Structure 1
Amino acid sequence: MAEAMEVLGKLEDRLRIRQPDLQELNERFEGVNKLRQLGVAIPEELKSFTVVLNWARVVVDAIEHRLDLSGFRMPGAEAADTSLWQVWQYNNMDERQGFVHTDALALGTSFACVGTNEDDKDSPLITVESPLEMTVRRDPRTHRVTEAARFYDADDSGTAQRATLYLPNETRWLKRERGQWVNELEPDLHGLGAVPVVPFVNRHRTTRLRDSVLEGASEMADVIPIADSASRAITNTQLLQETLVAPARGVLGATKGDFVGSDGKPLTAWETYFGAVWAMANKDAKTFQFDAADMKNIETIVNMYARLASGVSHLPVEYFGLTTNNPPSAEGYRAGETRLVKTAERKQTAFGNSWEAVMRLVIRFRDGKWSEDARRMEALWRDAGTPTVSMVADAVSKYFAAGLVDWETAQEDIGRSPEMIRRMKERREKESEAALSFGVQQASEVVNEYPVGSSVPVSE
């Protein structure tokens, strides 16, 4: 017990160190952050004009939209494993996989946990956890997770009041009492031999493995300072719209009494300024006007920032609102997404390894033993590119006609789920059996009508 409490304390300290940075990144993604150093150029009463360009979320969403799992294939199998896909569907992972990918891309790390399902032992539970609540430690030699903890149910001070401690052979549920962690439930001595928590790390590097706290990096990091600069430019535009866009007007030699309404009462300064017609009886008064400010230079600056953001994020510049008079053709547009597609494919490789580890744990919880074949499991992803439906169908049909792929692989390439492929295969088999049965019946009728040795009439 004392050793477990010591491990929990170290993990809590580890999470506390990371939380400020993670919280700031999370606010960046949600678009609730404030521009830094805003008070230098803009007074406090004008901060309501602030505009924040959330290009950070654009970067994350553009990659996450291309990360869709379509199944898991065991070694030696011709098609995706339908039993694993049933567990996937049971846990609503079609939706929740996006939670994992988004947090990993935005915050650098996210987590998935596997546990026993008391309601359905054939479908172990898969939960996704926030890096704001969970942290892990790894073995410095094997890099495997040796311990993990989730801290949640925070009070008004923001301090977590409950925790779940994951160790290789036991799981503990704890609560905080008088500042100390105590067991809330009896520990689960599962003897699994592995921590049932899988981290998803974005932009992993060997250098970061030496750091006991830092794992992963945010995809937003490079674009954040550029987005801030563009946001300040747009904010300045907001202020200029109120002050310099309309021509400034003035009058010399007039008195306050010269500005009166139809009722004979003096007009206020703003009513006078925004009046449609300036006319007065004072022959000594002289009016003048300043030219309006040209806003095109700000547009040029924002476009420059959009191109810079495109360069560091690998996204086409159109993602940041910059369009051209002559839009590219479909082929040209896809060519412009080459770097984005390659980035998404790299994420598929890294995140695919983590999802395979999750499904190995699923098999262990379901079958009660580790599967050696599962070590060579393959995660199947949908195409990260943006081809049209007709292009995909045409390419797959040509591969199938040339014998380069089998029927089931062709269905996977089109993007059909394992369950749909299974149903299609069953229908194909039933149709083949029905056709074969019909052919045998027809042949039998012919033999019965025209016995051996008799002449079969031939139609003219």
Structure 2
Amino acid sequence: MTAYTFPQTIQGMNDQESDAYRRLLTKLQRKAIRNRIRTAYYDGKNQLKDIGYSLPPVAKDIEMVVGWPRKTVEALANRVVLDGITTQDGSELSRLVLDLMDANDLKQTAENAHTDALVHSCSFVATFQGNTSMGEPEAVIQEFPADCATGTWNRRTHGLSEALMFDVDDDGYTTQVLGGYLMLPNVMLSYSNDGGSWRVTERVPHEGRIHCELIAYMPDSKRPFGRSRIDRTVMSLTDSAVRTFLRSEIQAELYSVPPRYILGADEELFTDENGNHIPRWKVMLDQLLIIPKSNNGDQQMPQVGQFAQYSFEPHAAQLRQTALMFAAATNVPPDAMGVLTSNPSSAEAIDKAVKELCLAAESCQRRFAPAWERTIMTAQQLAGTDGAVQVRTQWRNPATPSRAAAADAAVKLVGAGILPPDSDVTYDMLDLSDEQRRTLRMEARRNQARAYLANLANNNQESTGGEAHVSTAAEPTSQPEASTGNPAQ
């Protein structure tokens, strides 16, 4: 995997900015090797680690890929899904904010950031002022993996105080550094390659927190930048599985061929007519083994025998054991690794592994949510949105319950009066998308308007009906008085 070549100096920086740049660049390069190794494991491009005696030399030329590291990352990443955003007071988001999130493809950006964080232990999400004349949105939300970005963690503000990021172009074969950004407590610098020399192209002052957030997996006080999901245990077990697959692949041709032996054979029996040695594999795979009779009558005929046929079971047993150890380390069910066992995982074992994954996903949601909420608030401010609203993130249920089970639980809580039917909590339980939530709110407002108009109509009808009733009651009393003019009647 090709390493990035970052510039060592940037023209146009003052002494303080240059010191910060060199310090952060040294930190980035120090972590680059481990980041490349984890990326190689995730992409299935890790090199074979031979322990010296278990594999023949020819095995080094065989490319064997075991996708367990990608499986352990995707198993958790698929349960940490940012489903949308909503306001903290329950009001509807403005169309400008929704358009801003759609223009930045927030859900896909979040998915990329979460996957990079699980691979490298962290990723970085920065917010910039957009150039609308170039077709950009008013605020740009961009994600940077840890192999081309780093920062300094401030324990007092629980955020980044400095950040260094590079725009790179990596197609898997060649890499190119296009530009970068240096964010300091009071200024943000943009730099690029101008005619062979790197120089500052833009300097934007700001106040408060820098416009960059850290997405870290399993951080703590000693390691605020988190830990990689592809840790040393995962890499070691993956190497063991690769060696097991290679040994079984090399010996696969021997499983169907019974090993034979010949006693008292002359070396000439294993040479062709030109005097060259017949390859061992050809002798072993010959279905008909012909031994010519010796001209020397005193010499005994060679004796041919057969050993017990090779078995694949030792390799399969070792692979099953490795898969079980991998499952215990990553909380991924053993069946998900594609290893068949004589006793498949029970429902209780699978449920226990899924619960562990759900707990890890809930922990990720709790840690990732504040960073995304601050990012969205910063994007509103940079876009010049009037009255930026406080938002909260909506996450898909990591347990992924069925629609029927989720609906049944919601109906019971609504029926018991614990939840209102049109609450965001109810919508969260039903795992409704942003579009579905907006549609339901529009229909609710439409029904409320219809009910209000119907109520006005009923009140007006009752009022009109009451007046007609009074006039009708007065008419019979007036007619007899008009007809009393005839005394005889």
What TM-score do you get using the length of structure 1 for normalisation?
A: 0.82
Determine if the alignment matches structure 1 residue 202 to structure 2 residue 217.
yes
Distance in 1 (alpha carbons) for counterparts of 2:262 and 2:434: 78
Distance in 1 (alpha carbons) for counterparts of 2:352 and 2:95: 35
Determine if the alignment matches structure 1 residue 384 to structure 2 residue 398.
yes
Determine if the alignment matches structure 1 residue 318 to structure 2 residue 335.
yes
Corresponding residue to 1:429 among 441, 445, 460? 445
Q: How far did residue 412 of structure 1 move?
A: 2.7
Q: How far did residue 24 of structure 1 move?
A: 1.0
Q: How far did residue 387 of structure 1 move?
A: 1.7
Contact 1:249 1:288 in 2 (8 A): yes
When structure 1 is superposed on structure 2, of 18-27 and 187-196 the one drifting more is 187-196
2:125 maps to: 112
2:481 maps to: none
1:212 maps to: none
Q: Secondary structure at the match of 2:288?
A: coil
Contact 2:127 2:140 in 1 (8 A): yes
Q: Secondary structure at the match of 2:203?
A: coil
Contact 1:90 1:123 in 2 (8 A): no
Q: How far did residue 108 of structure 1 move?
A: 0.7
Corresponding residue to 1:46 among 26, 49, 59? 59
Distance in 1 (alpha carbons) for counterparts of 2:160 and 2:453: 57
Q: How far did residue 347 of structure 1 move?
A: 0.7
1:340 maps to: 357
Corresponding residue to 2:409 among 395, 409, 412? 395
Distance in 1 (alpha carbons) for counterparts of 2:206 and 2:184: 9
**Closer, same or farther: CA 200–443 of 1 in aligned 2, 3 Å:** closer
2:14 maps to: 2
Q: Secondary structure at the match of 1:189?
A: strand
Distance in 2 (alpha carbons) for counterparts of 1:147 and 1:288: 75
Q: How far did residue 62 of structure 1 move?
A: 0.7
Q: How far did residue 179 of structure 1 move?
A: 9.1
**Closer, same or farther: CA 87–157 of 1 in aligned 2, 3 Å:** closer
Matched AA of 1:104: A
Q: How far did residue 134 of structure 1 move?
A: 1.0
Q: How far did residue 394 of structure 1 move?
A: 1.4
Corresponding residue to 1:103 among 113, 116, 124? 116
Distance in 2 (alpha carbons) for counterparts of 1:18 and 1:259: 56
Distance in 2 (alpha carbons) for counterparts of 1:157 and 1:440: 71
Residue-by-residue CA offset, 1:113-138 (whole Å, 9 max, x unaligned): 11122328985211111211111123
Distance in 1 (alpha carbons) for counterparts of 2:288 and 2:240: 40
**Closer, same or farther: CA 259–70 of 1 in aligned 2, 3 Å:** closer
2:186 maps to: 169
Corresponding residue to 1:125 among 140, 161, 171? 140
Distance in 1 (alpha carbons) for counterparts of 2:209 and 2:265: 87
Q: How far did residue 242 of structure 1 move?
A: 3.4
Distance in 1 (alpha carbons) for counterparts of 2:19 and 2:385: 30
Matched AA of 1:2: N
2:250 maps to: 239
Determine if the alignment matches structure 1 residue 414 to structure 2 residue 430.
yes
When structure 1 is superposed on structure 2, of 288-297 and 60-69 the one drifting more is 288-297
Distance in 2 (alpha carbons) for counterparts of 1:233 and 1:332: 25
Determine if the alignment matches structure 1 residue 275 to structure 2 residue 286.
yes
When structure 1 is superposed on structure 2, of 251-260 and 241-250 the one drifting more is 251-260
Q: How many residues align?
A: 440
Distance in 2 (alpha carbons) for counterparts of 1:49 and 1:242: 15
Contact 2:150 2:163 in 1 (8 A): yes
Corresponding residue to 2:227 among 217, 221, 234? 217
Matched AA of 1:227: T
Corresponding residue to 1:363 among 380, 401, 421? 380
| Residue identity (%) | 20
Contact 1:151 1:164 in 2 (8 A): yes
Q: How far did residue 369 of structure 1 move?
A: 8.6
> 5+ unaligned residues in a row in structure 2: which ranges?
1-12, 295-300, 474-489
1:294 maps to: 311
Determine if the alignment matches structure 1 residue 91 to structure 2 residue 104.
yes
Q: How far did residue 226 of structure 1 move?
A: 2.0
Determine if the alignment matches structure 1 residue 146 to structure 2 residue 157.
no
Distance in 1 (alpha carbons) for counterparts of 2:189 and 2:59: 52
Matched AA of 1:242: E
**Closer, same or farther: CA 405–121 of 1 in aligned 2, 3 Å:** farther
Determine if the alignment matches structure 1 residue 18 to structure 2 residue 34.
no
Distance in 1 (alpha carbons) for counterparts of 2:26 and 2:36: 16
When structure 1 is superposed on structure 2, of 74-83 and 357-366 the one drifting more is 74-83
Matched AA of 1:307: L
**Closer, same or farther: CA 20–272 of 1 in aligned 2, 3 Å:** closer
What TM-score do you get using the length of structure 2 for normalisation?
A: 0.77
RMSD: 3.8
When structure 1 is superposed on structure 2, of 319-328 and 130-139 the one drifting more is 319-328
Contact 1:23 1:132 in 2 (8 A): yes
Distance in 2 (alpha carbons) for counterparts of 1:271 and 1:95: 55
Q: How far did residue 268 of structure 1 move?
A: 5.3
Contact 1:166 1:195 in 2 (8 A): yes
When structure 1 is superposed on structure 2, of 39-48 and 152-161 the one drifting more is 152-161
Residue-by-residue CA offset, 1:129-170 (whole Å, 9 max, x unaligned): 121111112335434322212234589997857432222333
Contact 1:80 1:418 in 2 (8 A): no
**Closer, same or farther: CA 260–165 of 1 in aligned 2, 3 Å:** closer
Q: How far did residue 385 of structure 1 move?
A: 0.6
Distance in 1 (alpha carbons) for counterparts of 2:352 and 2:205: 52
Matches within 5 A, 1:343-354: 343-354=360-371
Matched AA of 2:226: G
